[in-house]
Amino acid sequence: MTVFSLVLLTYFMVVSGFVYDVIVEPPGIGSTQDPATGAVRPVVFLPGRVNGQYIIEGLSSGFMFVLGGIGIVLLDLALDKNRARSVKVSYAIAGISSVVIAYVMTTLFIRIKIPGYLRN
Amino acid sequence: PFFASNTTLVAYFFGKEIWDSGAGLVAAILIAVCPGYISRSVAGSYDNEGVAIFALLFTFYVFVKAVNTGSLAWSLASAFGYFYMVFYFLDWVKHMLSDTKLFQAFLRITVTSAVAVGGIALGLGMVSGYISPWTGRFYSLLDPTYAKDHIPIIASVSEHQPTAWSSFMFDFHILLFLFPAGLYFCFKRLSDATIFIVMYGLTSMYFAGVMVRLILVATPAVCLISAIAVSATVKNLTVLLRSKNKVVQTGSTKGSGGSKSSSKALLDQSQPFQKNGAIALLFGAFYLLSRYATHCTWVTSEAYSSPSIVLAARGAHGNRVIFDDYREAYFWLRQNTPQDAKVMSWWDYGYQITAMGNRTVIVDNNTWNNTHIATVGRAMSSYEDEAIEIIRSLDVDYVLVVFGGVTGYSSDDINKFLWMVRIGGGVFPVIKEPDYLVNGEYRVDKGAAPKMLNCLMYKLCYYRFGEMMTEYGKPPGYDRARGVEIGNKDVKLEHLEEAFTTSNWIVRIYRVKPPNNRW
């Protein structure tokens, strides 16, 4: 169990672009100036390219991936016969909702990041 | 593509070996469309990595097969594939020598002698200078900051950059969810084969995080482990579906009330909507997989199927505009220059000029000679008077630059220029990167550094550009790739003259003027 959680932690770090953050040292979050008012607005997703990121967007996407993975694990645990019924039901609900949320959020993120996603 | 289809077959057998035939089928399907692999096996981007991944997967498959069956034939076959001969042989020995003590003694002797001999050989090699420790490209995998500080030419290749989350998502899509789930299933059913695939998966994912290009190597592992997750989940769900039918049958034959204690009845007694839930989840799983397939086909058509020598863009009304400037320039070179003319450009275009322009280049994509490339980089970053000395010493006749200011093409030489500075500065300390920056910022407009505004690359790119109207409502000399009006519009060239500029100004060729006659 401990090994698996360590593995998950490493996976989270790799997939959220930790190495990219260490080498390229992007800002935690980007900023743009509103042309009309001159106020500074934060920009979460680095626009324009697939191979760049800000730190926070990397971490949140990595969290979504791990959440989806945990959701599937929960689903498997829910089908385990040796647990009480209420635990199984709650695992099943948590698992399904995790996968759904993770998938929806990830699709949303990638659609924000790549404006022409799934459009010819 | 032939080897890519073979990879799919091997993936099926590998999955069958590790888990079961269902996982094998899913693995084959996943790897067939995974963009991570298609990027290196599609026609046009086909590189020796397409074959290498097939060989890698085949070797690993044979290795696992040897571990599982313990037969000599499989062991020898895998030894042919790679250099893990010792491991294979040892495993066969392990199965042959049923006496563990004998095997342990044998193992101890073999390993110590092998390590001793290897260590002595390595030490001798390094001391005598025969083997140099870890060439730069591979060392940067262990210490990712190494290339950035010490070897700019490796750091400059965009595929060697560390990976951002979106690159992972682009190449893997839902496999990123299935990978940790698959790891969980592997941990649940530990065997030699699953341990192997977990190790392969984890190490390859780490290296894929360090360098974008290595996503390719991680792809087979991710596909296999994801296949395990899919197969196990689908199996769980279908067991749910099937068990209800069996309970109904036993209930009808044995009579009511007798089958409560049966383990299969445990499921539907308490949860009457079990079957519907399982069907819904199965539909959900198939939906996710179909989204994956859609994503993969879109990625392949958009990102990995475009030629890189003919550029395409969307016009203002959504129509497709084609820029064929590269071939225009190369064919101009082929037809309008002397046969023995030598062309100096940045190394990215070397092979294209050689193949299509049929002229000698100074540096090309075979980047083994760093000093030579640094010399070209130094020439491009110097003032024209210093640069012409280097150009004449290299016996160059034509200089070629790529310029995206008119079209907004962002992979041009001005955007790559800082790499030329860094690589040149790595060998010739007279070139210093801060000279070209203003407060750490790279600019080409009025506020740019004076060295930047007068270096050869700037002059060659922006010659006569100051009078050019590029966009409605913007002043002349507006650089569409950088989004600024350039700082030095009055560019005069003394030792070079313009020979050819393509129709969209993307490629510009200059002729080196012969030295003035001296009285």
Query: What are the pLDDT digits (tens) for B351-395?
Result: 999 999 999 999 988 877 889 999 999 999 999 999 999 999 999
Measured CA to CA, the distance from residue A53 to residue A20 in angstroms comes to 8
Beta-bridged to residue A42, according to DSSP, are A31
Nearest chain A residue to B293, by CA: A118
pLDDT at B330: 94
Residue B482 near residue B494, CB atoms below 8 Å: no
The band of B147, judged by pLDDT with boundaries at 50, 70 and 90, is: low
The per-residue pLDDT for B248 is 45
Q: What is the DSSP letter of B383?
A: B
Residue B71 has pLDDT above 90, yes or no: no
Name all contacts of B91-94 with Cβ < 8 Å and 24+ positions apart.
B91/B66, B91/B67, B92/B66, B94/B70
Half-sphere exposure of B489 (CA within 13 A, CB side): 14
Is B212 in CB contact (< 8 Å) with chain A?
yes
DSSP classification of residue B488: -
Contact residues on chain A for B240, CB-CB shorter than 8 A: 79
- Residue pair B221/B203 in contact (Cβ under 8 Å)? The answer is no
Give the pLDDT band (50/70/90) at residue A100: very high
Task: Tell me if residue A49 falls in helix, strand or coil.
Answer: coil
* Cβ–Cβ below 8 Å for A58 and B167: no
- Read out DSSP for B333-379? HHHHS-TT-EEE--GGGHHHIIIII--EESS-S-TT-HHHHHHHHHH
Q: Tell me which of A18, A20, A118 to substitute to probe the interface with B (most B C-beta atoms closer than 10 Å).
A: A20
B349: alpha, beta or left? (left if phi > 0; alpha if psi -120 to 50): alpha
Please count the residues of chain A: 120
Percent over 70 (pLDDT), chain B: 75
Averaged pLDDT, B241-256: 51
Amino acid, single-letter form, for residue B95: H
The pLDDT value given to residue B399:
95
Q: Under a CB-based contact definition with an 8 Å cutoff, are residues B75 and B91 in contact?
A: yes
What chain B holds in terms of domains, given with CATH numbers, is 2-231 (no CATH), 324-512 (3.40.50.12610)
Mean pLDDT of B495-516: 92
Contacts of B54 (CB under 8 A, 6+ apart): B3, B4, B6, B7, B10
Percentage of chain B surpassing pLDDT 90?
A: 29
In a domain, A68, yes or no: yes
* B52/B220 Cα distance (integer angstroms): 12
pLDDT the model gives residue B403 = 93
- Residues of A (55-84) whose Cβ lies below 8 Å from B: 57-58, 61-62, 65-66, 68-73, 75-76, 79, 81
Choice among B115-124, B314-323, B426-435 with the minimum mean pLDDT: B115-124
Q: Is any Cβ of chain A less than 8 angstroms from the Cβ of B85?
A: no
Question: Contacts of residue A72 in chain B, CB cutoff 8 Å?
Answer: 177-178, 181, 184, 229, 233
ipTM above 0.90, yes or no: yes
Q: Residue B126: left if φ>0, alpha if ψ -120 to 50, beta else—which one?
A: alpha
Q: Per-residue pLDDT for B97 more than 70?
A: no
Q: Give yes or no for residue B86 having a pLDDT over 60.
A: no
Q: Determine the distance in angstroms separating the CA of A25 from the nearest CA of chain B, rounded to an integer.
A: 11
User: Is residue A120, in this structure, part of any structural domain at all?
Assistant: no
* Nearest CA-CA partner of B421 in B234, B208, B413, A91: B413
| Residue from B182, B159, B167 nearest B30 by CA | B182
Poorest-pLDDT segment among A87-96, B68-77, B446-455: B68-77
A119 lies in a domain? no
Tell me how close the Cα of A30 comes to any Cα of chain B, in angstroms.
Answer: 15
Judge whether residue B217 has pLDDT over 50. yes
Does A99 contact B at CB distance below 8 Å?
yes
Instruction: Tell me which long-range contacts B361-366 makes (C-beta under 8 A, separation of at least 24).
Output: B362/B394, B362/B396
Cβ atoms of B235 and B193 within 8 Å: the answer is no
Q: How far apart are CA B312 and CA B293, in angstroms?
A: 25
Top residue of A33, A51, A80 to mutate, by most chain B CBs within 10 Å, is A51
- Rounded CA gap, B424 and B160, in Å? 19
Which residue in A17, A81, A103 is closest to B163 by CB distance?
Answer: A17
Phi, psi of B498 (to 5 degrees): -75, 130
Cα A17 to Cα A35: distance, rounded to the nearest angstrom: 31
**pLDDT for res B188:** 87
Q: Of residues B290 and B136, which shows the higher confidence score? A: B290
Q: What is the pLDDT of residues B11-24, one digit of tens each?
A: 888 888 788 888 88
Distance set, CA B390 to CA B382, B386, B427 (Å): 10, 7, 14
Indicate the number of domains in chain A.
Answer: 1
Q: How confident is the model at residue B103 (pLDDT cuts 50, 70, 90)?
A: low
Average pLDDT value for chain A: 87
The answer to whether A30 faces chain B, any CB pair under 8 Å, is no
For residue B1, which of B37, B52, B39, B43 has the smallest C-alpha distance? B43
Closest by CA position to B344, among listed B375, B316, B376: B376
Q: Tell me: the pLDDT tens digits for B181-208?
A: 999 999 888 888 888 888 889 999 998 8
Give dist(CA B519, CA B203) in Å, integer.
69
β-partners of residue B342 are B360
CA pair distance A73, A94, nearest whole angstrom: 10
For residue B267, pLDDT over 50 is answered with: no
The confidence score (pLDDT) of residue B137 equals: 62
Q: Which of A4, A19, A70 sits opposite B209 (nearest CB)?
A: A19
Please indicate if any CB of chain A lies within 8 Å of the CB of B169.
Answer: yes
The reported pLDDT for the residue numbered B84 is 45
C-alpha distance from A38 to closest chain B C-alpha (Å): 19
Q: What is the pLDDT of residue B254?
A: 43
Buried b (16+ CB within 10 A) or exposed e, B316-333: eeeeeeebbbbbbbbebb
Answer yes or no: do A50 and B184 touch at CB < 8 A: no
CA B6 – CA B23 distance, rounded (Å): 17
Give residue A5's identity as a one-letter amino acid code: S
End-to-end CA distance of chain B: 65
Using an 8 Å Cβ cutoff, are B361 and B397 in contact?
no
CA of B466 vs chain A CAs: smallest distance (Å): 27
Q: Is 70 exceeded by the pLDDT of residue B245? A: no
DSSP string, B437-480: -BTTB---STTS-HHHHHBHHHHHHHTTGGG---STTS-TTEET
Across the interface, do B167 and A110 touch by the CB < 8 Å criterion?
Answer: no
Which of A1-15, A35-49, B283-297, B463-477 is predicted least confidently?
A: A35-49
A50 within domain boundaries: yes
Of B280, B216, B212, the closest CA to residue A51 belongs to B212
Q: Establish if A29 touches chain B: CB-CB under 8 angstroms.
A: no
Interface mutation target, options A79, A88, A98, chain B, most CBs of B under 10 Å? A79
Question: Residue A9: which pLDDT band, with cuts at 50, 70 and 90?
Answer: very high
Average pLDDT rounded to a whole number, residues B338-344: 94
- The Cα–Cα gap between B330 and B175 comes to 42
Using a CB-CB cut-off of 8 Å, the residues of chain B touching A75 are 233, 236, 281
| Residue B327 or residue B148, greater confidence | B327
Residue A75 in contact with residue B282, Cβ under 8 Å?
no
Determine, for residues B166 and A114 on separate chains, whether the beta-carbon distance falls below 8 Å.
yes
The answer to whether residue A102 sits within a structural domain is yes
CA B361 to chain centre: 26
Nearest 5°: CA angle at B295, between B291 and B299? 175
- Statement: residue B151 has pLDDT above 90: no
Strand-strand pairing, A30-33 and B342-344 = unpaired
Residue A120 or residue B233, greater confidence = B233
* CA B218 to each of CA B199, B212, B226, B318: distance values in angstroms, whole numbers, following the listed order: 11, 10, 12, 37
Q: Confirm whether A56 is domain-assigned.
A: yes
Using CA coordinates, name the residue in chain A closest to B235. Answer: A76
- Which residues numbered 175-204 in B keep a CB inside 8 Å of some CB on A? 176-181, 183-185, 187, 202
Q: How many Å lie between the alpha carbon of A72 and the closest alpha carbon of chain B?
A: 6
Q: Are B503 and B431 in contact (CB under 8 A)?
A: no
Residue environment code for B73-98, b if the CB has 16+ CB neighbours within 10 A, otherwise e? ebbebbbebbebeebbbbbbbbeeee
What confidence score (pLDDT) does residue B474 get? 87
Stretch B201-221: mean pLDDT, rounded?
A: 88
pLDDT number for residue B260: 41
CB nearest B163 (choices: A20, A89, A106)? A20
| The pair of three-digit structure tokens given for residue B216, joined into one six-digit string | 């390719």
First to last CA, chain A: 45
Q: Provide the domain limits for residue A35.
A: 1-113
Q: Is B145 in Cβ contact with A22 (below 8 Å)?
A: yes
In this prediction, residue A34 carries a pLDDT of 82
